[in-house]
Structure 1
């Protein structure tokens, strides 16, 4: 089924009565020169450029030769910020920048400074030019945008429009402006400016230009306005793969994974060759939806259509296999990457942590440092998360306390949050509260909620009540807060108090998210809710589940009624546990999948303690490996035990 994109309609881009660009205050540029950041180790590209500069100066150079070398210096990887000023000085000494006909060389100098994020030096060059062309204006606008100086870029754009028809904004002007706005995820003024620029694009007749259209789509996606992105995509109506790549990426960024996959299939039907960016986005979509078979097909398609091993694609592929429960395949992808970088190691460490392999995560961290790669904030956060999932509190605190001294990285809010969650989940709720009080940040509601969850696990009703009351005030309509407090009461057998919490939810009109689990069989995904009887073979599923429950009871399974719903009569609480969604998903998989084959099951919420216990027994009596992904982590059940060590 193709993704239906809306036809062009009057939107924010065309309906503004007053141009918001005119509201941007004019601000005179600072002409004070900035300090140049000189590079470190010499590379091959820098060496060759330095040799070219020496050869140029030894001969009788022309302005065109200076322009070519300036362009090479600004586009080199890594850039060569020290060569530009040398070439600039030599061009001035030779009189190449003193006449009227110096626009091309002066623009090359300006472009160099702009590419090195020195917009003030670029502006000084711009103001001294007797003549300017569209390339000159675009280079400076882009320089301001890349340096994060959106207002200066917009003021310059407005001045460019006033220059007259000879120098009009073109297909290179708008992408530069849009990139500056797209990086700011705010609303209000930012939203208005994006719409105003879209209107200017339409007035300039550039809405069908692929380059401009792709920039519009990306800008709307960065702001989370997918419908406007669809309008821009529809307006372009192009078969250009860059435009399609931007739209697919927009769907993924806005959590419309199904739309991204439908666009990908439409792209293939129209014989448009996917780019590496498309494959990365599609792998992300497959991973988020746990569509393993589809992910494998896209992987095969990428191998047939591209011989290059792109690092970004491999990292996305690694994450896709991990998100689908295939950690061994993720490791194979990592091993096949000849150009591993910090992001590659971060992806692998995160995957190993989520699957409950902290020792392997630490080993990859060690290999990363041996390879000469410097860990960043994400690396240490992923490592802390790996320790958190495994309950390795001592190891986690050791890493956290040495972040500044050994790694030179100052802990951010996320690092503190991980440590607080780690302490609370291990039962050290008092220490977790002390850490929160000593943080240089104000604790947000999700962090308090993680402690409330730990209070539920460790039956600390006094601390739990205190946190819950605070959360009821700040988040009166967040169902999880009520559920966690109710769980504490239920686990302590205080059913009347649990019922009061339930009644309070009803009085305030708070409703919890429905739990559901799903399992993929071949090309089909089968979804189950609690006590769900909508499946075509529901009778067979329930018959198999009843048989499985009887078998695991004999093996030692004892239902934990503290995980039953609070509003169910006490004599039915045990029976209600049998038909939780994850148990139904397993019963279906066990019924239709080959004997002793691995089952991969997903759940939208955290697995309940009773189902976790039942799954261990399911793996024991059926001989199956079960890989369960909940909204927190992966659980690998095998021969009666779980990879999390019951630290769920």
Structure 2
């Protein structure tokens, strides 16, 4: 009875913590009471203690209790691993998962799902593959949501073919799996396949939800399928009886704006029953950048300045639009506004994994041990690219400087450095996969198409928006992103 009461108190404390009530001190008092009354020999009590500390935000104490627990079961392991991921301490979470494997205790589907979702969030495909291999060796249940997590992980990491294979091996794919694959195909430049999987979802008897339609609309957006996208958009409410979300509106505005159909976009915005959010205005601003719509771009930017004045992306995009139009006085005004408001441009960051080691590059980076070799290679490559017809796109270089300096600034962008490093450190013909924290620029996109053809390499670049698969001078996005 005493043990049950202690556990009840700890659970209550943990629940209070999850409701944002500051009660860590209460939990510590209970902990002290447990030690004084001799209840600290019970494994269940230790598990409840660890849970309480974790939910109260004291992860170090939770780990201390976890390490002292003698009879740790898979539930305790899974909870502790999950806490690290929740606290954005992924390396420690992955390390603890490996400790679990070595302990001989068999992970359950909750463990696998948590680790695979973390792999998806961090684009850690290498570790995800190891987890998949382990799951296969011990014989995981294809009906479990761990299988859905596998589809999600491979889709987010850009290995869309393996994601398809996993889904096809599932007897009855659930909605999460269908949705992950639809979104993955859309992001990977396979919009037709994304829509085919959506039709297969409907034929399977599953009912799409609001998240599914975000993937469907995304597929239409990046294939330029405006009329098809509008058809799906209106079917959300009329055919499937679902309510529109802010994401649906952002997607349809993105689709219309990218296609230059601004009047239709404005009509939908005017008729929206909900207030446009930052994603919708950003989508509209992006479309204005493509088509040089200065008037509407200013309107979208003003709305974004009110919602999130600290976001540098709005200032940079508007400055790019002015720079393209040669309006350098307006560019200078935006720079001054950024300075006055203390807004700092987020640095472009790209990384590539070679032999299980991650290499990170900034624009113009010279800190890497192979910098000299990288820059020499890019210099020679630049000559070959120009011979093949490459012309640097300096339209979006904000600085009003000489053309030669603009070209030099462009050629040392972080994704080009990462791609160059991948080429010089891997055997000929090896596919290269680079990740970037921001949207790739127009010039880098053009340049990498030339590089893929000259070097005969498949180059995948995952930017903040989607995957770009470059091969033999073409990109999977069809230059529509």
Please, what TM-score do these two structures have when normalized by structure 1? Answer: 0.68
- Tell me, in whole angstroms, the C-alpha distance in 2 between the residues paired with 1:168 and 1:274: 27
Structure 1 CA distance for aligned equivalents of residues 101 and 313 of structure 2: 42
Q: Unaligned regions of 5+ residues in structure 1, if any?
A: 1-133, 135-164, 183-189, 221-226
Q: Deviations over 1:452-475 (max 9, x none)?
A: 222222211122223323433443
Report what 2:174 is aligned to.
341
Match of 1:192 among 21, 28, 34: 21
* Contact map agreement 1:619 1:637 (CA 8 A) in 2: yes
Query: Which ranges of 4 or more aligned residues in structure 1 deviate by more than 6 Å?
Result: none
Query: What is the match of residue 64 of structure 2?
Result: 234
The answer to whether residue 298 in structure 2 is matched with residue 465 in structure 1 is yes
- TM superposition shift of 1:489: 0.8
Deviation at 1:200, TM superposition (A): 6.8
Q: Distance in 1 between matches of 2:26 and 2:266?
A: 48
| Distance (Å, rounded) in 2 between the aligned partners of 1:466 and 1:406 | 34
Query: Where in structure 2 are there 5+ consecutive unaligned residues?
Result: none
The answer to whether the aligner puts 1:169 opposite 2:2 as a matched pair is: no
Tell me how far apart the structure 1 counterparts of residues 434 and 355 of structure 2 sit (CA, whole Å). 13
Match of 2:451 in 1: 618
Deviation of 1:355 after TM superposition, in Å, equals 0.9
Matches of 2:222 and 2:55, distance apart in 1: 36
Residues 1:455 and 2:288 aligned together: yes
**Residue 178 of structure 1: how far off its partner (Å):** 4.6
What is the rounded CA distance, in whole Å, between the counterparts of 1:537 and 1:621 in structure 2?
A: 22
Q: Is the 8 A contact 1:311 1:340 kept in 2?
A: no
Whether 1:212 aligns to 2:48 is yes
Shift of 1:524: 0.9
Give 1:425 shift.
2.2
Aligned to 1:432: 265
Q: Which moved more, 1:464-473 or 1:348-357?
A: 464-473
Select the residue among 137, 141, 144 that pairs with 1:304: 137
Question: What's the Cα RMSD here?
Answer: 2.6
2:165 aligns with 332
Q: Find the residue that maps to 1:314 and give its secondary structure.
A: helix
Query: What is the CA–CA distance in structure 2 between the aligned matches of 1:545 and 1:418, rounded to whole Å?
Result: 37
1:532 is aligned to 2:368: no
Q: Is the 8 A contact 1:283 1:298 kept in 2?
A: yes
Which residue does 1:587 correspond to in 2?
Answer: 420
Distance 1:168 1:278, change over 3 A: closer
- Three-state SS of the structure 2 residue aligned to 1:627 is strand
In structure 2, the residue matched to 1:85 is none
Secondary structure of the residue that 2:433 maps to in structure 1? Answer: strand
Q: What does 1:57-456 align with in structure 2 at a 5 Å threshold?
A: 169-171=5-7, 174-175=10-11, 178=14, 182=18, 190-192=19-21, 195=24, 198-199=27-28, 201-202=30-31, 205=34, 209-213=45-49, 215-216=51-52, 219-220=55-56, 227-237=57-67, 238=69, 239-456=72-289
Aligned CA distance change for structure 1 residues 477 and 379 (closer, same or farther; 3 Å): closer
String of CA shifts for 1:572-611, please: whole Å, max 9, x gaps: 1111111111111111111111212211111110010110
Q: 1:204 and 1:404, CA in 2 relative to 1: closer, same or farther beyond 3 A?
A: farther
Cα distance in 2, alignment partners of residues 577 and 370 from structure 1? 48
Q: For residues 474 and 322 of structure 1, do their structure 2 counterparts lie closer, same or farther at Cα, with a shift above 3 Å needed? A: closer
* Counterpart contact for 2:158–2:184, Cα < 8 Å: no
Task: Give me the whole-angstrom Cα distance separating, in 2, the residues matched to 1:607 and 1:570.
Answer: 21
CA contact (8 A) 1:499 1:566 kept: no
Deviation at 1:286, TM superposition (A): 2.2
Taking the aligned partners of 1:516 and 1:562, their CA distance within structure 2 comes to: 21
- Please give the TM-score of this superposition, normalised by the length of structure 2: 0.90
1:608 equivalent to 2:441? Answer yes
Aligned position for 2:329: 496
What is the CA-CA distance between 1:343 and the residue it aligns to? 1.6
SS at match of 2:5: coil
Bigger radius of gyration: 1
Change (3 A) 1:610 1:330: same
